[in-house]
A and B are shown apart, each in its own frame.
Chain A
Amino acid sequence: DTAVSQTPKYLVTQMGNDKSIKCEQNLGHDTMYWYKQDSKKFLKIMFSYNNKELIINETVPNRFSPKSPDKAHLNLHINSLELGDSAVYFCASSQEEWGTGGWDEKLFFGSGTQLSVL
């Protein structure tokens, strides 16, 4: 039973189209994220939601709009796709826990969506 699942796994589309990527987590976590892995392999945070509320927005173009209908879901909608949007997009969730060194927060990632814009 997958903890963080995102669909689709592969998405090939034309420039200018609008597309959505869906993400669901069954871990009961309060916080969900979207990360982008670019061509240089860096994983960079795009958005973070806590209990359906946006808490981090990393200067992502407003063509990208996350939507969280409930705390188990965080979808990513992208308008007017551009060539530079081609990347792997990862959804993740986390929950803070008190550990021996203070507050621990481990992210659990989905398997990624490979977006190719032609």
Chain B
Amino acid sequence: DQQVKQNSPSLSVQEGRISILNCDYTNSMFDYFLWYKKYPAEGPTFLISISSIKDKNEDGRFTVFLNKSAKHLSLHIVPSQPGDSAVYFCAARDAGGTSYGKLTFGQGTILTVHP
């Protein structure tokens, strides 16, 4: 039972264009959402987060949008750069009961930005 899903295993984008990575979730107890970026042979690194009381958070080239009614979030990268090529993981925090603080991750989307 995968509560966080990234349905696109990969995405290919031209440098300078927008990259949009999507994530869907099923658990209404999730209260906090994060995006992580991972390069090969390294651990995931935090990119940007959003609380469930907001619908948008922006940090430089990265913007995360949250649509709670659709249980959907997306990460926009504008403009995309070749150094953005990595695996992007969506994660959600469970605010409920004994699972408080637990992060559930999606399976990742491989982003490739072509020069």
Cβ B108 vs Cβ A41 within 8 A:
yes
Majority-rule SS of A interface residues: strand
**Which of the segments A14-22, A59-67, A73-81, A109-117 contacts the partner chain?**
A109-117
Interface residues on B, range: 20 to 34
Q: Once the chains bind, are A106 and B46 in contact (CB under 8 Å)? A: yes
Contact of A42 among B44, B51, B93, B105 (CB under 8 A): B105
Known contacts A4-B43, A110-B43; is-contact A43 B89 (Cβ 8 Å): yes
Q: Identify which of residues 51-75 in chain B touch chain A, using a CB-to-CB cut-off of 8 Å.
A: 51-54, 57
B112 within 8 A of A: no
CA distance in complex: A11, B42 (Å): 16
A98 to B27, CA, bound (A): 23
Contact of B50 among A4, A40, A101, A106 (CB under 8 A): A101
19 A-B interface contacts by CB (under 8 A): A35-B105, A42-B2, A42-B105, A43-B91, A43-B105, A45-B102, A45-B104, A48-B101, A48-B102, A56-B99, A90-B43, A100-B54, A101-B51, A102-B53, A103-B32, A107-B36, A107-B44, A111-B42, A112-B42
